[in-house]
A and B are shown apart, each in its own frame.
Chain A
Amino acid sequence: MNIVENFDLFAPRLINKKELLSSGHRACQGCGEVLAVRLMCKALGENTVIASATGCMEIISSMYPTTAWELPWIHVAFENAAAVASGVEAGLKALRRKGKIADRDIKVVGMAGDGGTMDIGMQALSGAMERGHNMLFVCFDNEAYMNTGIQRSSGTPMGASTTTAPAGKVSMGQKTWKKNMAEIMVAHNVPYVATACPSYPLDFIRKVEKAKKVKGPSYIHCFSVCPTGWRCPSDQAVSLGRLAVETGIFPLFEVENGKYKLSSEMPKKLTPIKNYFKSQGRYRHLGEDEINMIQGGVDREYRKLLNKVQCLAAWD
């Protein structure tokens, strides 16, 4: 047990006890995405307004006439969460300036799945980030369109089988590398970009708290295990998230004002990805050659990241 693990072990003492997403939501058993949302809410606290995209998290939390939300929350459509959040931010700003509402700091947060962020919602998000709204956007990346039945997205990793890029006699499933959304956000020159995973709750919460303090746009890309879509046992949402980090498939890092920093959770030596693939049905069809090919890609991307961390850690 190293120091970091020890620290994590007693994490609960440091976590906001208040639940801002109530029980009774309809997420599948062992949903890693709803766990991430729950922890995000704890980190954000009550002075928050959330604008959500259509997707699993919207459907499972807002079944009329009830809601799981204890925070002010709005959903409009699939591709426009960032635009709605922009409007919420602008509205609150104007009303506060004009003395129409109490003078109180409220963080506006946009949230969407990988589809709602990286595909159909990319334009609205890019616009919102470029305009510099004081808002945090969190992508809950479960690597496919889960709400509509596990179709591929640009966040689906190489080799994963989905319902629109299925593995077959002549196909290994997804044939494209996962879009690096965090880097796209870094390219927007926003003050704060981070990757996170609820399997590291303290790290995740600390990053959300940091993003909350930024006066301007910030972005967190949150890896979210989906037992239903990944065809893995429901008790593995947390352990698989950990393996994704330990294999370097999903490295944890932060970019503050353009400066890269690897999160302390990253191991010195990465675990082979086959350990991570093992329990997931979406990778079951892969042969050794394919796994080796993917391992090569993962290593290459991780080296690139380490180089950025080395070169772009400080310059002033």
Chain B
Amino acid sequence: MAKRVGMEVALAVAEAVGQCNIDMAAVYPITPQSHIGEHLSDLVADGKIDAEFVTVESEHSAISAIIGASGTGARVYTATSSQGLMLMHEILPIASAMRLPLVMGIANRAVSGPLNILNDHSDIMPQRDCGWISLFVENGQEAIDLSIQAFKIAEHKEVNLPVCVNIDGFQLTHMVEPVEFPDQELVDKFLPARVPFATLHPSKPVTMGAFSMADYFTEIMKAKDEALKNSKKTILAVWAEWAKMFGRTYKPVETYKAEGAEILLLTMGSMSETAELAIDELRAKGLAVGLVKLRLWRPFPFAEIKEVLLSAKKVLVTDRAVSFGGPGGPVCSEIKAALYNEKDRPTIYNCIIGLGGRDVTVADFASMIKKVAEEEANKNADTYEFWGVRE
């Protein structure tokens, strides 16, 4: 029987990774990720998982070391946050170009400056174009499930790409939640041993990370882009299999009371639960509003997003990061790009919310939506608002 317990989400993530028969992990401490790495090293120290835990001297070395280990054919894991992810940035597109199935947990946190240890999405957004599969979770259970699924997706023979699982720092990582761990035998069945396409071993010498000039570089980039786009098929298949085996369903874009909604609110990550309460409240007042939750950030689910958004008159996209001097929030840009070619597209509004741990309440979401409801369509469509900013 699946084990149901109350557990801090960060520890639950480490436990879940521990169920995946990893061979090697390299994690460098940073708040609010640290509990994942600490607990993982506990599991190794107690002999509960048979893996090398490399206590690297930086996140740059963490990502570099798991690339090296992944190159040997090992199943590898790292986790980080904020500055750690920024320090890794240089290596992220190399990992995806090398098509190595790394798995990384990200306890999302604001990036400096000023230094701030609390939650937003400004760490993951600058990594958008690095060629990683990027998933968001809403609660502890999803964090467990996606951490396990991530290995299967990453290592699938049609994918071979790194995957990151975004888990809101503190808001989620440090919450004690009721969670259920899948049975080990079922995990073993779900997640077979990795079959690498090449390994660093003298029995068959290969060169990884070759140098390329203009003659092949474009083709290499195209191949990488296609691989990432193509991974959606596998992601969907893995989620279907998960639903069958464990009874929990995952979709690239999920909805809450979206049917018949004239206004749709779009969120990512743990704030979706608060947003749902706001939707309940407004629905009860007779407003035709609903919620769209974006789970799959890369590859971006264009078809699915259109399918749910096109029926609405207005869409309010919330962003937890800023594209400074640009079009507002990075998620909103993507949504606009997805809908631009549609004749009857909804008006898009953008609120930047919850920066650096700023609380966003049910009342906040309710007033954001009400404000959009009262606005004349198209008036403010090109603007964005720092929600709740003090003038």
Contact = CB atoms under 8 A, between A and B. Distances in A.
Interface of A: 46-49, 51, 58-59, 62-65, 67, 69-77, 79-80, 82-95, 97-98, 100-102, 104, 106, 123-124, 126-128, 130-131
B57 A124 contact: yes
A27 B205 CA distance: 22
Contact of B61 (A48, A98, A124): A124
Q: Name the 9 nearest CB pairs between A and B, nearest first.
A: A87-B68, A91-B69, A127-B57, A87-B65, A91-B72, A83-B61, A83-B64, A75-B209, A67-B207
B74 interface: yes
A72 B23 contact: no
Interface string B30-61: 00000000000000000000111011111011
Contacts of B211: 58-59, 62-64, 75
Nearest to B55: A131
B210 A62 contact: yes
B189 interface: no
Given A72-B202, A83-B61, A95 B73 contact: yes
Contact of B60 (A58, A59, A83): A83
Contacts of B94: 76-77
Given A69-B205, A87-B26, A124 B71 contact: no
- What's the interface size class on B, roughly? 35 or more
Contact of B72 (A47, A80, A92, A127): A92
Nearest to A92: B72
B47 to A, nearest CB: 12
Given A71-B202, A88-B68, A124-B57, 5 more contacts: A58-B211, A86-B68, A88-B72, A91-B52, A127-B58
A76 B162 CA distance: 15
Given A80-B61, A84-B64, A124-B64, A91 B201 contact: no
B212 interface: yes
Interface string B204-237: 1111111111001000100000000000000000
B352 interface: no
A280 B58 CA distance: 40
Contacts of A127: 56-58, 61
B17 interface: no
A11 B56 CA distance: 41
Contacts of B204: 72
B191 to A, nearest CB: 15
A84 B95 CA distance: 12
B66 interface: yes
B57 A123 contact: yes
Contacts of A92: 72, 200-201
B76 interface: yes
Contact of A69 (B52, B193, B207, B212): B207
Contacts of A85: 68
B90 interface: yes
20 contacts: A72-B204, A72-B206, A73-B207, A75-B208, A76-B67, A83-B60, A84-B71, A88-B71, A91-B70, A91-B71, A91-B73, A92-B72, A92-B200, A93-B52, A95-B72, A100-B193, A101-B73, A124-B61, A127-B58, A131-B54
Nearest to B61: A83
Most buried by A among B60, B68, B208: B68
B24 A86 contact: no
Contacts of A126: 57
B203 interface: yes
A222 B50 CA distance: 37
Contacts of A97: 50
A284 B209 CA distance: 39
Contacts of A98: 23, 50
A157 to B, nearest CB: 29
B73 A72 contact: no
A94 B60 contact: no
Nearest to A52: B209
Nearest to A74: B208
Contacts of A100: 23, 73, 193
Given A58-B211, A62-B211, A123 B58 contact: yes
Nearest to B213: A63
A106 B26 contact: no
